[in-house]
Amino acid sequence: MTLEITSSLQNLQRTVNHHFRHIQAAHPFARPIAVQYELAYTDYRVVQLALQLGEQPALNAELTAAYEAVQAFEWPFIAGGPAEFAAQHGEAPAGYAQAVATFDAVCARVAAWQGGATRH
């Protein structure tokens, strides 16, 4: 059984990249960012489920690790805004850009497995 996950994967990737640009530009916290964060988590779980049903444990593990690495940067911003993000990660953490790049690469592999393309 294979679930069609193109829209979930695209929404997830678009949200991760949007939040990265928002946080990188030092924009203030906005309620829609928190809503997007929650909706993206649902998309993430849909993609995980598809990988589990599609018997792709290695790809699922890669996605999980990449998503958790991004969340280590996103959550402080969601929980406490720019001040909390800066307190935990400094003003311009290089690791955040790398985490997003890794996440994008894993999303491309998931899309290839699914037979589609990602965009962000």
Predicted pLDDT at 91: 74
Task: Answer yes or no: is pLDDT of 105 > 90.
Answer: yes
Predicted pLDDT at 1: 60
Closest by CA to 21, choosing from 36, 9, 8, 39, is: 36
Task: Give the mean pLDDT of the chain.
Answer: 91
CB atoms within 10 A of CB 88: 15
Backbone CA torsion sign across 107, 40, 61, 4:
negative
Percent of the chain with pLDDT over 70: 94
pLDDT tens column, 45-104 = 999 999 999 999 999 999 999 999 999 999 999 999 899 998 989 877 889 999 999 999
